[in-house]
Amino acid sequence: MQRLTSFMLGLFLLLGGLAVALAQDKTEGLSQPPKVLVIAREFVKPGKAGMIHHRSETAFVQAFATAKWPTHYLAINSMSGKPRSLFLTGYDSFEAMEKDNKAAEKNAGLSAALDRASLNDGELLSDFDQGVFVYREDLSLNPAADLPHMRYFELSAFRVKPGHEKDFEELAKIYINAYSKVPDTHWATYEVAYGSLGNTVIVFSPLKTASEIDHNFVQGKQIEETMGEDTMKRAHELSAACLESTQTNLFSFEPKMSYVPSEWAKADPTFWGQKTVMAAVPKKAAETAKKQ
């Protein structure tokens, strides 16, 4: 139980930023988490990652740029676990997702370009899946971040035992309460609505540099000491009761594979580049809609 709780603490202490927020709050210059999040996963064959996959993905970026599509997506590549790329697309609602997919179906030029790009990209993949997640504001902390200047995402996935959702919520709120007193601490939480991941909750954290991970590990131990014996005991009990499995992985932002708002390129043109601007339809969601 002690090891599990320490691991839980480690996962939460690393959540030093906000999630996959593709909706832009122009008044503060910070990104806010979308209500609905589509996560498409491409598992790349051995030897087919890196620049080979980058070149394949630029065909999708070009297709959306030509169509001047109004929806954004961000690509991130795994730095741990199986070689894979995640494509993250945010929406204000399920209705907005539906309208976007239908519009992509009706655009003959875009559909043709996506078909060509998909054919080439498919040769590099060993598997593909897609899930739809909903934002849990009540399990998030300080949801705002300067994403254009971030370089990494930590994704912490919690598989919750059936019937123990309330236990998980109580556990999460213990850590929210502990970290609410720590300046510049942020995270955003999503739970699966549709997809093969089952009863899964994912917590997203962006990082500017890997040095933040070192700092957060030290900070987490300090917070654990201040939580008190009774609180830690309760956290132990809840962890054992509600968690079927946990996993955290590190991902890097991939500008050449992403289609982000022009504000991102203006904020950090060296990283994002002036050509990676405007917006894009959720790439994988559009492909799925065409095939249905």
How much of the chain exceeds pLDDT 90, in percent? 62
For range 28-34, the mean pLDDT:
78
Average confidence score pLDDT of the chain: 83
Least confidently predicted of 50-64, 172-186, 216-230, 274-288: 274-288
Residue 29 confidence (pLDDT): 63
pLDDT at 28: 55
Q: What does the block give as tokens for 279?
A: 């917006």
Residue 1 vs residue 163, higher pLDDT: 163
**What's the pLDDT score for residue 217?**
72
pLDDT in tens, 115-138: 999 999 999 999 999 999 999 999
Structure tokens at 152: 């990494």
Asked if pLDDT for residue 106 goes beyond 90, the answer is yes
**Domain regions of the chain by residue span:** 2-291
CB 92 within 8 A of CB 282: no
What is the CATH T-level fold of the domain 2-291, as seen in this structure? Alpha-Beta Plaits (3.30.70)
Q: Maximum CA pair distance of the chain?
A: 63
Rounded Cα–Cα distance for residues 281 and 264 (Å): 17
User: Which stretches of the chain are DSSP H helices?
Assistant: 2-13, 51-67, 94-106, 108-122, 165-179, 211-226, 229-242, 262-267, 269-272, 283-291
Contact 155, 79 (CB under 8 A): no
Question: What distance in Å separates the CA atoms of residue 187 and residue 155, rounded to the nearest whole number?
Answer: 10
Q: Do the Cβ atoms of 198 and 245 come closer than 8 Å? A: no
